Amino acid sequence: MNQRPVVNWNIVGGCNYRCSYCVQKHAEGVGGPDDEALERGLDVLCALPGVWEFKLSGGEPFLLKRLPEVAARLVGAGHRVSLLTNLSVPLPVIERFITAAGHGLRTFSCSLHVEETSPQAFLAKAIAAKQLLSALPKASFVVNHVVQPGRVSAAAALRREFEAAGMKFYPQLMRINGRPAPYGLIDRWKLDRAFADLAGPGSMNRGYSHQGKACHAGFRYFILHPKGDAYACYPAKRHGENYLGNIYQASFRLNDAPQLCPYAVCPCTVPQNRGIVIG
């Protein structure tokens, strides 16, 4: 697989939703950068050598009013942008973002959270948002959904409904504190029946392990916390390891070589799907 350098930028910590299974824990009190910090951070990121993809997420990234400008600045510097949103903002705001990112837009991901919105309202908006990508041949549209224990049949029904509407439906097994949530025998049987055809990180996030494999996290991939702290990957941050400095405080630097993965679970499929993990 071609290696595509990528950043998971949790650009704001806050969210307008309160999903019970949120791995970000809504990051209470962690807002986005102020204008000056954002300028400093954008200078650092725009200057990264080569072409990087910035996956903008949160919290809910649209809580940062300057999000379309962030996309335009990164793309203007030769980079690419992707997005992960809960799709709660009005369609004109989504359209502003898509227009700003233009041909630099890659993956537009939106997460369906049935605790906070009805699937029917979400689907109607997703269809309209996907339509906005029609002039961007390199952009793709994906609907993410966390499959909660005890709700596997409901998730399977959602998959059928969204796929029938022409959407890529991307199920994610739930995690608690970085570890896979426990699924009982009946849930596991239902998971097999409903999702067995979705093999690998490009089709479903099942919490894969790459322990011991060569990984370019920290070198060709990193994550950014809302306060600007950079880590090689999410497990590295959880363990307080492989810190790369802060983009808002001019202390950021990349590692200069890959490492062997020391972690039991690689919770985010973004690096796995961009050739960052080797082997």
Per the structure block, which two tokens stand in for 51? 């072409």
Tell which one of 32, 44, 271, 274 touches ligand SF4 (CB under 6 A): 271
> Of the candidates 1, 18, 131, 189, which one interacts with ligand SF4 according to CB under 6 A?
18
Query: Is 55 among the residues that bind ligand SF4 (CB under 6 A)?
Result: no
Site membership for ligand SF4, residue 9 (CB under 6 A): no
Total site size for ligand SF4, rule CB under 6 A? 23
Longest dimension (CA), the chain: 52
Using the contact rule CB under 6 A, the part of the chain among 43-51, 53-61, 72-80, 95-103 near ligand SF4 is 53-61
Length of the chain: 279
Tokens standing for residue 108:
């537009």
> How buried is 44 (Cβ within 10 angstroms: 0-12 exposed, 13-18 middle, 19+ buried)?
buried
Interface residue with ligand SF4 among 80, 113, 130, 206 (CB under 6 A) is: 113
Which residues of 11-90 form beta strands (DSSP E)?
A: 53-57, 80-85
Which residue lies nearer to ligand SF4 by CB, 126 or 266? 266
At its nearest, how many Å lie between ligand SF4 and the CB of residue 101?
Answer: 20
Q: Which amino acid is at 121?
A: A
Distance CA 260, CA 278 (A): 10
- The arrangement of strands across the sheet holding 259-260 comes to 259-260, 214-215, 277-278
Residues 57-96 that bind ligand SF4 (CB under 6 A): 58-60, 86
The residues binding ligand SF4 (CB under 6 A) are 15, 17-19, 22, 24, 26, 58-60, 86, 111, 113, 210, 215, 217, 233, 235, 261, 263, 266, 271, 277
